[in-house]
């Protein structure tokens, strides 16, 4: 029995060792397969598959039109490879100052229509499309240079390419893509901004309208290649001729001073009107208050007089009613048989009286009771009151 248990323990240990060995081998095989045949696309990237050859009705040769979503994807070295492209925004700074993040290039020098030159710092914000899209072309919003307010970019929907068109047009290297994109964007920026006058750069409506117009022109050019100019930001602008810059600054300062003085004058007038209105209404309120107090006193006096009159009238009516009752009572008592009626009404009360109060009196002798109670006949035969 002991040998049998030892044999079972040995077999169980061997089974556990075999299980762990199989798990280790499986994990090693998965690691090798992942190393050679797997590719992870991170969340901030777009995967672009490139096939070295094609199989009819199954696999097409070259770059595939649609990008790969973040996650694990298969690839076979030398047969099908997955390249990574940025998914997030990237920045191109055309600036004379150091900027954090993105590519920095020289600022643009824009010639204005009246012969001046403006050194302009611009930041281009761009992004790539994950897949191509076909959509009907919509015209851009008109009247971008309206004086009503700073315009907003038009909500245009255009057809655009995907990662394959981007790589075929601009190449696979990031630096080449950006440099080609910037060269095309610079041309449209110069065309649009050069339509402004020297002083127009200080007008935010006209300046931003020109930037939006340039951004739309850039998108019409680069969208088919799978890239979008998401925004064109004018960061800073300086005139090459310092005297022009000083003159424009002085002119703008003068305009702002005149506007400030006009606003202060309008504010003073508004305060004066407010004080006048306040004084008028305060006087009206005092008049209404005094009038209301006088009316209240008159109403109080009228109410007191009415109360006294009503009280006197009520007392008068009560006195008349009492007098009328007394007259009717006297008339009733003076009538024949009146005292007998009263005596009969008093008999139930008198019957409750017992010894010591009324003595030597026949309870059925009505005449004696009348005489006893002082209600007998007078000598003239009339009832006593």
Structure confidence at residue 218 (pLDDT): 92
pLDDT per residue as tens digits for the range 50-64: 888 877 777 788 888
Q: Rounded CA gap, 128 and 222, in Å?
A: 10
Taking the CA atoms of 252, 257, 259 and 260 in sequence, report the sign of the dihedral they define. positive
Q: Give tens-digit pLDDT for 229-245.
A: 998 998 888 876 666 66
What's the pLDDT at 309?
87
Instruction: Return the closest-CA partner of residue 88 out of 100, 73, 70.
Output: 70
Contact 170, 182 (CB under 8 A): no
**In sequence order, what DSSP letters do the residues of 280-346 get, joined into one string?**
HHHHHHHHHHHHHHHHHHHHHHHHHHHHHHHHHHHHHHHHHHHHHHHHHHHHHHHSTTHHHHHHHHH
Tell me which residue has tokens 């997030």: 88
Phi and psi torsions of 185, nearest 5° = -70, -40
> Quick one: CA dihedral 242, 202, 235, 122, positive or negative?
negative
Cβ atoms of residues 247 and 241 within 8 Å: no
Angstrom CA distances, 274 to 87, 264, 280, 281, stand at 60, 15, 10, 11
Residue 332 in this model has a pLDDT that exceeds 80: no
> What does pTM read for this prediction?
0.53
Q: Label residue 311 by pLDDT band (50, 70, 90).
A: confident
pLDDT tens column, 97-133: 877 777 888 888 888 887 778 888 999 999 999 888 8
Indicate if the pLDDT at residue 382 is higher than 60. no
pLDDT tier at 266, thresholds 50, 70, 90: very high
- Separation of alpha carbons 361 and 197, rounded Å: 141
> Can you say whether residue 226 is alpha, beta or left, with left for phi > 0 and alpha for psi between -120 and 50 degrees?
left
Please determine, for residue 376, whether its predicted confidence score (pLDDT) is greater than 60. Answer: no
Measure the CA–CA gap between 47 and 167, rounded to whole angstroms: 12
Q: Helical H runs in the chain?
A: 2-37, 163-170, 174-193, 204-222, 242-334, 338-350, 366-372
In DSSP notation, 83-105 reads EEEE-S-EEEEE-SS--SSSEEE
pLDDT tens string 206-221: 888 889 999 999 998 9
Q: Residue 128: phi, psi to the nearest 5?
A: -105, 155
What is the arithmetic mean of pLDDT over 348-358? 55
Question: What integer is the mean pLDDT of 308-328?
Answer: 86
C-alpha span between 380 and 239 (Å, rounded): 144
Place of tokens 């995907």: 162
How far apart CA 224 and CA 220 sit, in angstroms, is 8
Residue 118 and residue 112 in contact, taking contact as beta carbons nearer than 8 Å: yes
Please report the pLDDT score of residue 281 as a whole number. 92
The pLDDT score that the predictor gives to residue 63 is: 87
Residues 131-178 have pLDDT tens digits of 888 876 555 444 554 445 667 776 677 788 888 898 888 888 888 888
């Amino acid at each position: 029995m002991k040998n049998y248990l030892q044999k079972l323990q040995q077999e169980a240990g061997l089974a556990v060792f075999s299980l762990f060995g199989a798990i280790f081998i499986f994990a090693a095989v998965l690691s090798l397969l992942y190393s050679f045949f797997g590719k992870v696309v991170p969340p901030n990237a777009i995967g672009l598959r490139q096939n070295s050859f094609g199989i009819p009705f199954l696999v097409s040769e070259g770059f595939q039109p649609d990008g790969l979503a973040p996650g694990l994807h298969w690839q076979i070295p030398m047969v099908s490879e997955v390249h990574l492209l940025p998914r997030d925004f990237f920045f191109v700074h055309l600036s004379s100052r150091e900027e954090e993040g993105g590519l920095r290039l020289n600022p643009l020098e824009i010639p204005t229509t009246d012969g001046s030159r403006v050194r302009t710092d611009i930041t281009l914000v761009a992004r790539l499309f994950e897949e191509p899209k076909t959509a009907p072309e919509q015209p851009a919003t008109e009247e971008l240079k309206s004086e009503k307010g700073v315009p907003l970019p038009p909500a245009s929907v255009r057809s655009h390419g995907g990662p394959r068109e981007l790589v075929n047009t601009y190449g696979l290297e990031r630096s080449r893509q950006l440099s080609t994109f910037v060269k095309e964007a610079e041309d449209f920026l110069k065309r649009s901004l050069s339509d402004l006058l020297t002083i127009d750069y200080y007008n935010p409506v006209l300046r931003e309208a020109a930037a939006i117009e340039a951004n739309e022109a850039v998108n019409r050019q680069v969208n088919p290649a799978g890239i979008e100019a998401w925004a064109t930001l004018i960061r800073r602008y300086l005139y090459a001729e310092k005297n022009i810059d000083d003159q424009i600054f002085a002119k703008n300062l003068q305009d702002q001073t005149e506007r400030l003085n006009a606003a202060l004058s309008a504010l003073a007038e508004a305060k004066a009107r407010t004080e006048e209105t306040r004084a008028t209404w305060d006087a009206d309120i005092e008049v209404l208050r005094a009038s209301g107090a006088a009316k209240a006193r008159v109403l109080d006096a009228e109410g007191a007089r009415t109360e006294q009159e009503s009280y006197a009238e009520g007392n008068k009516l009560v006195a008349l009613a009492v007098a009328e009752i007394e007259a009717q009572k006297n008339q009733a008592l003076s009538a024949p048989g009146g005292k007998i009626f009263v005596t009969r009404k008093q008999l139930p009360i008198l019957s409750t009286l017992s010894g010591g109060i009324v003595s030597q009196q026949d309870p059925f002798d009505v005449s004696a009771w009348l005489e006893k109670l002082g209600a007998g006949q007078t000598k003239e035969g009339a009832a006593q009151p």
